[in-house]
Chains A and B, each alone.
Chain A
Amino acid sequence: MLDNPYHNKTLQWLAYAAVFLLIGIVPLLTDDDFLLNQLATYGVYGLLAVSISLCWGSGGILNLGQGIAFGLGAYGMAMTMQMQSQAPGTIPPFMANNALETLPIFWEPFWNTGLGIALALLVPTLFYLIFGGLMFVARVSGPFFAIMTLAILSALATVFVALQPYTNGVNGISPPTGLVIAGTKIDPYSSTAYWLVFALLLICTFTAKLLTQSRFGLVVRALKDDPERVRFLGYNVAVYETLVYALSGLMAAAAGASFAVLTQYVSPAQFEVGFSISAVIWAAIGGRGSLLWAMLGAFTVQGAQSYAGDAFLNTWILILGFSFILVVRFLPGGFAGLAELLLGRLASLRGGRREEFGQAPAKGAAK
């Protein structure tokens, strides 16, 4: 087999750096704050796709309920922002409308911004640790695990709608002002918000990439192939599965929290099955095996939806479903698989020519 530049680790890192450089300079090129907000939202979706790729692409753990962490993270952040806008001792207006007189006890920590944000990230992570732990120790895997995540997601949606006085039910929470950190208000329609999401996406993607190249990542990729074999090598497979699932949950929670900052709104729509499935489709179309391509998949699909979706209206969902079928049937590796194939061809062409002319091998373009 000839060297495929797609598998060259140095080139992979260069490709990551190049893509992030491109995303990073966007605010220097435009002053359109509405556009920046929209692009930042794509960044949030990109992060969600990265979180799915980490778990599904590396570990083969298909999670149809990533909205669990995304939604909980978004609610945690929205609650924090809501309490920032409250005068001490008051309760949010929707609670008063629902005949509550005092702040429910689980809302109390959200008076404190730091604690509120920490809870927005840690509650979903802890939930994933416990739920994942229970499932993986019992060796629930594959479609059975996917269905369980779906069930939990639907249950959460029901709970958040039902607890109207505490969550404002289907109306959700819309904090009147943007998030204030260390005395600075973050305007969701500004380059500041864009940079924040950019930094988060950068940190999460690079950390996830490093993780997949670590010994931990190697074991995770191995257990995707054959968990039984990995157990006989001395690794506690359930611990690895639970941790990779929880880390992907932490990233989804961070995405959800950023989403609440950008939109100043959260509702049970974040727990909708359709949203979580879309996130899986982004990763599948981009290529679940690559964090970067999964992210680009989210950009492409969501970008297309914003522009083409307006033109096609309800037909859009059919187009999306149809593209998903096409990818599954003809391009199981998504765009990433296509890139791998093309770069492999390119490498063998150059390899062939090299033999003919005795030239030094030239490396192909980065993936």
Chain B
Amino acid sequence: MAQQVHVYQSKVCYSIPGRFELDLELKSNQRVTALIGPSGAGKTTILKLIAGWLESNSTIALNGSRLDLNRSGKVQPLRDRGVGMVFQDDLLFPHLDVLDNAQFAIKYARSERRMEPFVFDSLCENFGIVHLLGRKIFNLSGGERQRVGLVRALAARPQLLLCDEPVSAVDRVGRTKLLANLQSWTEREQIVVIMVTHDHDEIRRMAGHVWHIDAGRLIAEGSPDSVI
């Protein structure tokens, strides 16, 4: 199935007007696109822009349908965009335990986005967090927190998942396994992934397409081998 994400005529109006001028298109049949660039290039800002986190006049489309506007042409609220985000600093809710964090979307999201319990169980098993479910957030290691963050985002059943260095706190062995799990789950659920990462091996293993960003501009794109 062809998957396309269009981000075009994009100018961030939030705090740095005019800095971002992007025309990004996720090429057909690329389930995972890597977003690379030096620190401060604007990678996280681009993810936030796609998610609708930042106010902008960008046009964001997935598979030809607009994510940023609803059918009547009004700005689509974040909760209706079908976009999930995994954050570099995980942003797990500190007042909830692991289970409540992981199940947050299941408990409180709109009913049509709620994941069935048996699928959630499978998701937890897939990402190896079953033994963590009774724990407090502050008792988790960095890698465990990132795994819980991934489960929490996927439990909201996004159509587009934005990952900002989602496995940076995981050791190398665990990282390979975790990314393989992420890849298999997103393929199974038909989720498009845009992932910020600095690891070239990860990019070659996972991504079919790469956007290379610098100073808010796309300076190169293509297959991993042609860009890296």
Chains A and B bind each other: no
Chain A positions near chain B (C-beta within 8 angstroms): none
